[in-house]
C-alpha cells in the first residue's frame, strides 16, 4: 500500500513537472499592445498595434476601430483585457479643428488644428489671403468672433496676470502670446507651435484653451508694447469651442 502511494505521488510529480515545462515554452511568446485613441469632435479612431515576439521572431498586427467614443472604448477595453499581453500602452490623442474667418474687411482665412498628445498641445494653423510679410498670432480670451473687427474676442488670454511679451520671456508673457509668423508672396502662412502650458478641455483654467479664440493680426507683434504688442487690426478669427 505504501509503495502504491509513493509511486502515485511520483507520477503526479512528473505530470506537474512536464506541465510546468509546457507553460514555460508558451510564456516565450511576448505580446505588446499599444493603443492610440484619437478623439475628434464627432468621431473617435483607435489604432491598436499588437507586437508578438515568439522564438526570436517579431510580428505586427494593426487594427483600427471607428465610431463614437463609447463604442470604440468598449471594443478597445475588451481587446486589451482578453489579450494577456505583457505590456499594454494606452495613448490618448485629442484633436479639434476650427475655421479661421476673415475680419476687418480682410481676405485672411484658414484652418487651425489643435492636438493634445502626451501632455503637449500642438497648434497648427494654415492661413491664406494674407498680405505678404510678418503677422502676429495670439490666443485671445473669448471665443466670440461675431464683431466685424474681431474685437469681440477680447484682449490676450492672460490667466497668469503677466505682462505681454515673447513666449518664455523671463519678464513675463501671456499664455496666448504665440508670436509672429511670415506669409509668403502668395499670401500663405503656416504656424506650428507646441507647448505643455496648454490643455484641451482639462479642469485647469490656467491651461485650458476651451472657450478662447485664435486671432491673426495685420501687423507684427513687437513683443514689448503693452498690453498686446501693437500688432494692428485683427484680420482673422477662430472661436475655440469643443
Residues that bind Zn ion (CB under 5 A): 156, 164, 174, 177
Give the helix, strand, coil percentages of the chain, each rounded to 5.
Answer: 15, 40, 40
Residues making contact with Cu ion (CB under 5 A): 138, 215
Residue 117 or 144 having the CB closest to Cu ion: 144
Q: Helix, strand, or coil here: 141?
A: coil
Q: How far apart are CA 198 and CA 134, in angstroms?
A: 25
Least distance (Å) from Zn ion to the CB of residue 171?
12
Contact of residue 212 among Zn ion, Cu ion, none (CB under 5-8 Å per partner type): none
Residue 153 or 200 having the CB closest to Cu ion: 153
Least distance (Å) from Zn ion to the CB of residue 138?
6
The contacts of residue 63 (CB under 8 Å, 6+ apart) are 47, 48, 50, 79
Residue 33 or 215 having the CB closest to Cu ion: 215
Contact of residue 215 among Zn ion, Cu ion, none (CB under 5-8 Å per partner type): Cu ion
Contact of residue 177 among Cu ion, Zn ion, none (CB under 5-8 Å per partner type): Zn ion
15, 20, 23, 24 alpha-carbon torsion, rounded to 10° = -140
Residue 51 or 166 having the CB closest to Zn ion: 166
Amino acid at each position: 500500500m505504501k509503495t502504491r502511494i509513493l509511486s502515485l505521488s511520483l507520477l503526479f510529480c512528473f505530470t506537474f513537472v512536464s506541465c510546468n515545462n509546457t507553460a514555460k515554452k508558451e510564456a516565450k511568446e511576448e505580446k505588446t499592445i499599444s493603443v492610440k485613441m484619437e478623439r475628434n469632435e464627432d468621431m473617435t479612431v483607435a489604432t491598436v498595434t499588437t507586437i508578438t515576439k515568439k522564438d526570436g521572431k517579431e510580428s505586427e498586427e494593426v487594427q483600427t476601430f471607428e465610431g463614437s467614443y463609447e463604442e470604440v472604448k468598449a471594443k478597445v477595453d475588451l481587446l486589451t483585457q482578453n489579450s494577456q499581453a505583457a505590456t499594454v500602452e494606452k495613448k490618448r490623442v485629442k484633436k479639434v479643428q476650427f475655421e479661421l474667418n476673415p475680419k476687418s474687411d480682410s481676405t485672411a482665412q484658414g484652418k487651425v488644428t489643435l492636438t493634445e498628445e502626451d501632455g503637449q498641445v500642438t497648434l497648427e494653423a494654415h492661413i491664406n489671403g494674407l498680405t505678404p510679410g510678418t503677422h502676429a498670432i495670439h490666443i485671445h480670451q473669448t471665443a466670440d468672433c461675431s464683431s466685424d473687427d474681431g474685437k469681440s474676442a477680447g484682449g490676450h488670454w492672460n490667466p497668469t496676470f503677466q505682462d505681454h511679451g515673447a513666449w518664455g520671456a523671463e519678464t513675463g508673457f501671456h499664455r496666448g502670446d504665440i508670436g509672429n509668423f511670415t506669409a509668403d508672396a502668395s499670401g500663405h502662412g503656416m504656424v506650428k507651435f507646441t507647448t505643455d502650458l496648454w490643455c484641451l478641455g482639462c479642469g485647469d483654467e490656467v491651461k485650458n484653451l476651451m472657450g478662447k479664440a485664435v486671432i491673426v493680426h495685420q501687423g507684427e507683434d513687437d513683443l514689448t508694447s503693452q498690453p498686446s504688442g501693437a500688432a494692428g487690426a485683427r484680420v482673422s478669427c477662430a472661436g475655440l469651442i469643443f
